[in-house]
Amino acid sequence: MRAIAINEFGGNDKLKLMNLPEPKPKAGEVLIQLKAASLNHLDIWVRKGLFKIPFPHILGADGAGIIVEVGEGVNHLKVGEKVLISPGIGCGICQECASGRENFCKLYHILGVQKDGTYAEYVVLPAQNVLPIPPNLDFESAASVPLVFLTAWHALVTRGNIKPGMKVLIHAAGSGVGIAAIQIAKLFNAIVFTTAGSDTKLEKAKELGADVLINYKQEDFQERLKIETQGEGIDLILDHVGFDTVMKGLKSLKKGGKLITLGATSGSEVPIELRFVYGKNLSIEGIYMGSKAELMEVLKFFQNGKLKPVIHTVLPLEEAQEAHRILENREAFGKVVLKI
């Protein structure tokens, strides 16, 4: 099969089109002929060597396609079904997996990290990791949804306990998690503050429902939040930037506020002044993806149109290097998708 893979860590020039063996499903697995794969910043971390992996390695956590073969014991899925991928894989048998908290499983991993991913014509997955595509979504749109919308839902709803009227700060409005989090926060009638590095991205964020727009290249978001909230502060912050934003974020929270960290694109070693944390009764929580049950809940809102995919561009599989360049240079508003 054709696949985009790496044989060594490094820049986007390490992404190579290769002919690799087509995988075969074992008992309990399905083989999917992929039609689309969407990029995540996780793919860049894998490419640069953040994780220990064997070579050659196929990147990609998100994808959508058609089931072409089912393994022994798979009875609830049929050849020909159009499906999207639930990219978080647990062991399936431990207490956490059995209780629907597979992202707490000791063996939990994300497709495309420890296991070959979706930048390919075919991928094999456990049968429990595929879900039907909502009928109003095409393959490219379906592939753009799972990782970012699941992460944003788990952060805001499950862990953030979002409520109407809450003041929520969402960094990086144009990122995949950003476009998902803005929509989910507005679904719960929260007041959304968001940051981006260009007015063009902020205008697009406004179209998604963002209430207060902050260009971090032109003004200090901490000072702006102080003005907008009249010194009261923010209830909840979603931060996947890291070094550049965490401490200012903690200073911007109201008493009893919460910062949820789900990534660190600007660096993960962050100095924290603990007096702001204990002195204001603040909470800091880390999250890593979410559960399949949460993804199933999210997909209901795509069926009724209350949530929608946001795609920046669709490129052929062979242009994966360009796709990575767009994502890494922060040119995208929404998802970059590879058509297979």
For residue 74, the domain's CATH number is 3.90.180.10
Are 273 and 298 in the same domain?
no
pLDDT at residue number 268:
84
> Of the candidates 215, 216, 271, 204, which has an alpha carbon nearest to the alpha carbon of residue 242?
271
| Residue 308 scores a pLDDT above 90 | yes
| pTM for the structure as a whole | 0.96
Residues paired with residue 130 on neighbouring β-strands, in sequence order: 85
CA angle 104, 4, 240 (to 5 degrees): 40
Both tokens of 224, joined, read 């702006």
Asked, for residue 51, whether it belongs to a domain, the answer is yes
Are 44 and 179 in the same domain?
no
- The type of residue at 250 is L
Mean pLDDT, range 90-97, rounded to an integer = 94
Q: Cβ(5)–Cβ(18) under 8 Å?
A: yes
147 phi/psi in degrees, rounded to 5: -60, -45
- The type of residue at 228 is E
CA atoms within 13 A on the CB side of 155: 33
- Enclosing domain of residue 303: 2-145+290-339
Are 215 and 262 in the same domain?
yes
The per-residue pLDDT of the chain, averaged, comes to 96
The Cα–Cα gap between 324 and 328 comes to 6
Asked, for residue 231, whether it belongs to a domain, the answer is yes
- The neighbour count for residue 13, using CB atoms within 10 Å, is 9
Q: What is the pLDDT of residues 281-292, one digit of tens each?
A: 999 999 999 999
